[in-house]
Homo-oligomer: A and B are copies of this chain.
Amino acid sequence: MAAETCGVGAVRAQSAHFDAPLRLRCGATLPGFDLVYETYGTLNAARSNAILVCHALSGSHHVAGHYADDPANVGWWDNIVGRGRPLDTDRFFVVGVNNPGGCHGSTGPREINPATGRHWGADFPVVTVEDWVQAQARLADHLGIGQWAVVLGGSLGGMQALQWAIDLPERVRHSLVIAAAPRLTAENIAFDDVARQAILTDPDFHGGHFYEHGVRPVRGLRLARMLGHITYLSDDQMAEKFGRRLRNGSFGYGYEVEFEVESYLRYQGDKFAGFFDANTYLLMTKALDYFDPALASGGDLAAALRKAQAKFLVVSFSTDWRFSPARSREIVDALVHNGQDVAYARIESSHGHDSFLMRDAHYHAVMSAYLGNVTT
């Protein structure tokens, strides 16, 4: 390994309120809203060293570090942020933000709707990746950041990085699109719909207003997460990690946990269902399904990307079957077709879609090399 690196240590979340209403793609308007965010490193005098990290389905503003009063609560992408790490806080000012519709403090279904005095719940409007870019732009204004050096993210986060380059081209110098796709396939949507149906048909969902009933649709949320985890891992990795190993060494001929993989999935499902908001889960999967920047160009992704001014790094992972390397190549091919500036790395990794969150020497070396050449 290279020289020792250092994480960002104790951090704290901040909040910003935005008075101006946000007109959403769905036709609804979000009145004044709050965004919770964190920052790591220092904004330079030229305000030219800012990086926006966009979160995926279950992520949040808490990208790196830990909280002084909750040291076990480490950010979801801690391994990539800090001194000597790819998102080097000696050089960059890194911003993480929880998107509207989320459940980590930004305005979303779990928060109180000022118009009704009760939880937004199912009344929270459907939000899209485009909406998030607009909301994040408000935060950039608030922080005095006219142009991001870099916008990046993995999975649904990578889609936001792509949308930024299209919607606000003059405000992004580099767009890093990791483990993403330019649109979901029918199979992707199918998995999302099964997860949504699990939540929507849970008797404790109460049409999205479960907060008032003192219950949470934990059964549906648990199933959604179990299913999600299958698509995040690779077949090979599951074979290696669990294989057909039995919890107790022999068949139990019943429905308790038998195979180790069952134990893992149920544990992940239970953990997630214990804290995540069911309405947020629905919203996040809808944002995934709707994402399709080429739609307005009749499906022509190259045409959609033509107005982007950013330079691109596209990264995919060999065993990612949720958004396979072929899907990343669609983005690369469109950019190449346009003669735009794009680098592409396909990383060999056994960790499937989750690879983008892992500390892998080759992956991080690619990220460090690219980001090392980003001028600030």
- A residues within 8 Å of B by Cβ? 25-27, 125-126, 183-187, 189-191, 193-194, 196-198, 200-203, 219, 222-223, 226-227, 229-230, 233, 235, 238-239, 241-244, 251, 253-255, 258-262, 265-266, 269, 282, 286, 289-290, 292
| Residue from the set A27, A187, A238, A286 with the largest chain B CB neighbour count within 10 Å | A187
Select one of B183, B186, B197, B261 contacting A186, CB under 8 A: B261
22 A-B contacts (beta carbon < 8 Å): A186-B242, A186-B259, A186-B260, A189-B262, A190-B229, A191-B230, A193-B226, A193-B259, A193-B265, A194-B223, A194-B226, A194-B230, A197-B222, A197-B266, A198-B198, A198-B223, A201-B219, A223-B223, A227-B227, A251-B290, A253-B286, A258-B289
Known: A194-B265, A197-B223. 5 other contacts (CB 8 A): A126-B253, A126-B254, A185-B238, A186-B260, A194-B230
Select one of B222, B239, B258, B265 contacting A185, CB under 8 A: B239
Q: Which residues of B contact A262 (CB under 8 A)?
A: 189-190, 193
Counting from the closest, the 10 A-B pairs by CB-CB distance are A26-B253, A186-B238, A126-B253, A186-B242, A186-B261, A193-B262, A187-B235, A201-B219, A194-B226, A187-B238
Given contacts A193-B262, A227-B194, A27 and B243 within 8 Å (CB-CB)? no
Task: Kindly state the separation between the CA atoms of A290 and B252 in the bound complex, as whole angstroms.
Answer: 10
Q: Is the interface of A mostly helix, strand, loop or mixed?
A: helix
